[in-house]
Amino acid sequence: MTLQNDLLLRTARGELTERVPVWMMRQAGRVLPQYRAVREQAGSFITLAKTPELAAEVTIQPVDAFDVDAAIIFSDILVVPEAMGLPYEMIESRGPVFPQTVRSMSELSRLRVADAESDLGYVLDAIKLTKKELNNRVPLIGFAGAPFTIFCYMTEGKGSKTFSVAKKLLYTDPDFAHALLQQITDSTIAYLQAQIRAGADLIQIFDSWAGILSPEQYTTFSLPYIKQICDLIAGPPDRNVPVTVFAKGAFFARQDIGQLSCDVVGLDWNMDPHESRQLIPNRVLQGNLDPCVLYADFAQIRTEVKRMLDGFGHQHYIANLGHGIYPDTDPDKAKCFVDAVKELGAA
Ligand code: CP3
C-alpha cells in the first residue's frame, strides 16, 4: 500500500523532497466547528476518544479542512496513566483531572504496566479504522507523552503552571520518581509498538513540560526514559517508522536530544532555527511558529511563515507550530498557515 502523499515520511527519513511538509500540533479537536459537533454527539471527550468510529472521523477532519500533509490520531497522552490503573476525567474548560494521584512507592504498587492490546485496544482500533478511511491519502501520526510529562499529571493530579508537587518528588523521593518513570516508560514502549503494528506511520513523543526542569534534572529524569523509548520502538526495518521528539521548552537539551535514536526533533518558538541547526546537525527539524501568529492578519501570517522557512531552509525540515494550535484560532488562519508553507516552501 503506497501513500498518495508520503512527503512527511520521506522528509522525516532524511530524504531531499520537493517541498516542505506541513501539519499542526493539536490540529484535531481544537479549532474546527465540525469537531464540536461530533464532540457533542459523543457527549464527552473520553467517550469520543473511546469510540473508534468517531475518533477516526475527527482525526480526518483537519486533513479535509486544511489539506495538511499528515493526520494525527485523535486521542490523548493521558490514556497511558488510565491504562496503568489511574483513571482521569476531562473537566469542561478546566482540563484533565486525576481523582487519585500517585506520590509514593506504596501508591505505585497499586498500578500496573499497561497492556496495550487489552487496556488501549480502543486507540489501536481507532488507528486501524483511520488508516482504512484515510485510504492512503496522507500518513497517520501516532503519539504518546514523554514519561516525565505523564509523571507530572499522575503525581500532581491536574494541570499546573509550575508542577511543583511533581518536581518536589524529584528532590524528596528520587527512588520513587525513577520507579514511576520506569513503569510509565515500559507502558509507553509497549503502547507505541502496538500503535506501529496497528498502522501508525510516524510516532511523536510529546514532552510538553520538559521546560520546567533544570538541565541537570532533565538529564536525570526525562532524557534517559525518552532514550529507552527511541531505542526500542524503531521497529523492524521493513516498517521503518520515524520518531519525533518534541520537548517543549528544553532549549538547553537540544544537543542531547539530537543524539537520540530519533529522526526528527520538534522545536518551540523560543528556539532559534540557525542555532538549532548548529546544535542538531544530523536530524530533521520540526516547528516552530508561535501559535499566536495565527491571530495576526493573513499577510502577516505569510510574512512570518516566510521568515520561518528562510530560517530553517527548505530541506530536512517539517513546518509546524511551536506548540499546539490554540482553541480560539480562526480555522481560516490555520488554513492560511498551511497554504503559505505549501506556496513558499518549494525546494
Ligand atoms: O493533536 C491532536 O489534535 C490529536 C489529539 C490530541 C489531544 N491531546 C486531544 C485533546 C493530542 C496530540 C493531545 C496531546 C496532549 N494532551 C498533550 C501534549 C501536547 C501539548 O499540547 O502539550 C497534553 C499535555 C495533553 C493533556 C491535556 N489534554 C490537556 C492539558 C487538556 C486540556 C486542555 C486542552 O488541551 O484542550 C487535554 C484535553 C484535550 N486533549 C482536548 C483534546 C481535543 C480537549 C478536550 C475536549 O474536547 O473537551
pLDDT at 236 over 70: no
Find the helix or strand (DSSP H, E) in which 205 lies: strand 202-207
Ligand 1 contact, 321 CB (< 6 A): no
In this prediction, residue 92 carries a pLDDT of 87
Q: What does pLDDT average to over the chain?
A: 97
**Residue of minimum CA distance from atom 2 in ligand 1:** 26
- Ligand 1: nearest atom to the Cα of 62: 3
What counts of helices (H) and strands (E) characterise the chain? 17, 9
Residue 26 Cα to ligand 1 middle (Å): 7
30 annotated to a ligand binding site: yes
Distance of CA 267 to the CA centre of its chain: 12
Predicted local confidence at residue 129, as pLDDT: 98
Cell 499546573, located at residue: 160
Instruction: Give residue 93's pLDDT.
Output: 85
Q: CA dist 232 to 189, 190, 216, 243, Å?
A: 7, 9, 24, 11
Is the pLDDT assigned to residue 324 strictly greater than 90?
yes
Position 176 pLDDT exceeds 70:
yes
Domain edges within the chain: 7-344
Query: Is the predicted pLDDT of residue 266 greater than 70, yes or no?
Result: yes
User: Does the pLDDT value for residue 224 go beyond 90?
Assistant: yes
- Catalytic positions: 26, 30, 39, 76, 153
CATH number of 7-344: 3.20.20.210
Q: Which set of grid coordinates corresponds to residue 332?
A: 481560516
pLDDT tens-place string over residues 42-96: 999 999 999 999 999 999 999 999 999 999 999 999 999 999 999 999 998 899 9
pLDDT band at residue 141 using 50, 70 and 90 as cut-offs: very high
* pLDDT value of position 237: 62
Question: Is pLDDT at 31 greater than 70 in this prediction?
Answer: yes
**Cβ(183)–Cβ(225) under 8 Å?**
no
- For ligand 1, the distance from its centroid to the CA atom of residue 47, given in whole angstroms, is 14
| % of the chain surpassing 90 pLDDT | 96
Length of the chain, in residues: 347
CB of residue 160 inside a 6 A radius of ligand 1: no
- Could you tell which of 26, 74, 143 is best to mutate to test the pocket of ligand 1, judged by most ligand atoms within 8 Å of the CB? 26
Of 66-80, 230-244, 300-314, which gets the smallest average pLDDT? 230-244
Section 173-188 average pLDDT: 98
Confidence of residue 17 (pLDDT cuts 50, 70, 90): very high
334 lines ligand 1 (CB under 6 A): no
Instruction: Check: CB of residue 191 under 8 Å from CB of residue 83.
Output: yes
Average pLDDT over residues 312-323: 98
Q: Dig out the grid coordinates for 72 from the structure.
A: 494525527
Q: How far apart are CA 201 and CA 71, in angstroms?
A: 10
Provide the whole-model pTM.
0.97
| Contacts made by residues 56-60, CB under 8 angstroms, sequence distance 24+ | 56/126, 56/129, 56/130, 56/133, 57/133, 58/28, 58/29, 58/34, 59/28, 59/126, 59/130, 59/140, 60/130, 60/133, 60/134
b/e sequence 273-299, b meaning 16+ C-beta within 10 Å: beebbebbeebbbbbbbbbebbeeeee
Buried b (16+ CB within 10 A) or exposed e, 1-40: eebebbbbbbbbbeeebebbbbbbbbbbbbbbeebeebbe
pLDDT bin (cut points 50, 70, 90) of residue 117 is very high
